[in-house]
Chains A and B, each alone.
Chain A
């Protein structure tokens, strides 16, 4: 019933408008959880979970300073671009039981570009600030981006290759690059043997390592290194512009973890637990349960890929990060791809 309602263009538009608002709320909520848990892990009390909301409210109230030697239009535009891309990114991700609002109008490749857009906007904003700290931060961001994009692209290629290999008869419209398709057919069921599973596990590992780099979190928060270049990219940003970057970071963190969930753990609750056996199995209840299940999965990924990692490591240097991604992660991703190739080709 709900799925049919979503076919209606008007409802779909409303959903597309509502989702970003929910996502901003969720992003900030997850950020609060992240801060609280990280504090508890380091035996601190930590800020209350609503602290990110207060931060944003305060930032919006603060004066928006544009440095004298910046390029004002670019300096002011980039936070908006970052925010817009983060929200657009979200419109491509199936939100639990709900299909993505822009389902069918873009695929994994668009996702790759949207993921690259936000760091790019931040780097441009950094270059436009006209501060040496921001310039260094922007340079670092570019280097880091060029490093982690290759393993990330390799993972996407692996997925596309895997889904393209499934006989077209399995579904009426079979789009190997579509996220919706991936969400409906868990990837673990698509591979045929243990070799493919190992390949997928390697790709999952690589994606989990890429996640903190993608989100500019320790150990890859090189572009914002506080003790080295005083928040780097964001050194000159304040007030509304900084709030925009803050929000876009929160939304993006949520979106990135949601992507990991959709790619690797799209299993619905009803596929694991026989929900239909219970008497209260009305559609709204099921949808609520599925949504909560999805949020829980995202939270687990968030905890392991962001919170735990950022509380366990030191920030590494940009050359070390570049070497790590180009050498170790790219090789690992390619090896995973090779295993999937062998699996698809039926060699094992």
Chain B
């Protein structure tokens, strides 16, 4: 009888495969993972708490800083939630502009993921090439909004910047470029034998698992689930666009739910985004871009309103949901809850990593495009089996800050 020995291989919190801190401890037997444990909470910043101390407009721009990549997903969900709570509706032109910016972001986020997954499998030239192509949309976003990231474009009840003829022409030119670039990307990703060898049947997620573990976004769609907030609960301009979820069964005719299918879903979603943007530009209605241009008045409206609101947006990674509550005493939310797509999607690691090889870990980890700072919304500090109360943690933090300050200052 043979005895097999397992040993644990720690991935993270700091590891070359991870762009942000999270810990995956894989029990490994040879090259095969027999058990995987995920520990999160390394990137908790108390952003919701900070938001509850600020007014709603400040919180809107704070929400942009939740995620480093989707700078528009969180503001989008936040403005929808606030508008839902105070009963406000953005003017049609603003709705269309919001959709255009959100779709531009989807393009850059998906290209970013394609580069990252190529890097995870040691295909760095592909990373350089895809990211070089991504620069165009980043430049466009900078031209439209003033920033490459953290666009500061949205406002409760509208958007802050209008599109003029010159900007519309720039978007159209950009979309022509991306139609061609995406075709090239499809050719490369779908025809490269090593890419296929590394992603086919890797991190398999069945339809049942995806449902059970509440997967969202491209991860769920790759498992064959036709779910997309833009399709199921259309908001803003999406209601006019008739968006259909991109699923692998429509592309190749079969569903595997593996990393290759996710690639397909993301590649075809870029095409979908290009279509949506072009239709938005065609149908762009005239009119104002803000429902309430006077921000003081807007804040007073919020201060006087009581109630709660939920905003949902289909971020590049999946559904992002914000919940806000106003109690009529202050001009910011008294309760703010953020649920990012990675919060759901990280749950599937435990399932897909079992039985995977060590070489598959970076791909299984990368294929949901995890965003740690998006999903870390709570931190629990335990010492000796005891949960430390908030005051004690705060006191210890202050002590440490003072100590470091003394050391640095000498």
Contact = CB atoms under 8 A, between A and B. Distances in A.
Nearest to B26: A132
A56 interface: no
A136 B28 contact: yes
Given A317-B359, A320-B197, A219 B122 contact: yes
Given A227-B362, A314-B192, A314-B198, A42 B17 contact: no
B10 A226 contact: no
Contact of B8 (A38, A132, A225, A315): A132
Given A136-B31, A227-B120, A317 B125 contact: no
Contacts, number: 84
B122 A315 contact: yes
Interface residues of B, number: 33
Nearest to A133: B9
Nearest to A219: B194
Interface string A131-162: 01101100110000000000000000000000
Contacts of A311: 125
Interface in B116-147: 118-126, 128-129, 132
Interface residues of A, number: 32
B357 interface: yes
Interface in B335-363: 357-362
B129 A43 contact: yes
A44 B131 CA distance: 11
Contacts of B362: 227-228
A219 B123 CA distance: 9
A318 B198 CA distance: 11
B15 interface: yes
Contacts of B194: 219, 313-316
Interface in B243-301: none
A222 interface: yes
A69 to B, nearest CB: 13
B7 interface: yes
Contacts of B15: 230
Contact of A319 (B9, B28, B357): B357
Contacts of B358: 136, 228-229
B195 to A, nearest CB: 6
B16 interface: yes
Nearest to A221: B122
A230 B17 CA distance: 8
A139 B198 CA distance: 20
A37 B96 CA distance: 46
A320 to B, nearest CB: 6
B31 A316 contact: no
14 contacts: A42-B124, A139-B30, A139-B31, A218-B122, A222-B359, A227-B120, A228-B359, A229-B358, A312-B125, A314-B118, A315-B194, A317-B198, A317-B357, A317-B359
Given A219-B194, A314-B198, 11 more contacts: A38-B125, A139-B30, A218-B122, A225-B122, A227-B119, A228-B361, A231-B16, A311-B125, A314-B122, A315-B194, A319-B357
Interface of A: 38, 41-44, 132-133, 135-136, 139-140, 218-219, 221-222, 225-231, 311-320
Q: 9 nearest interchain CB pairs?
A: A315-B122, A314-B123, A314-B194, A42-B128, A227-B17, A317-B359, A42-B125, A314-B121, A227-B362
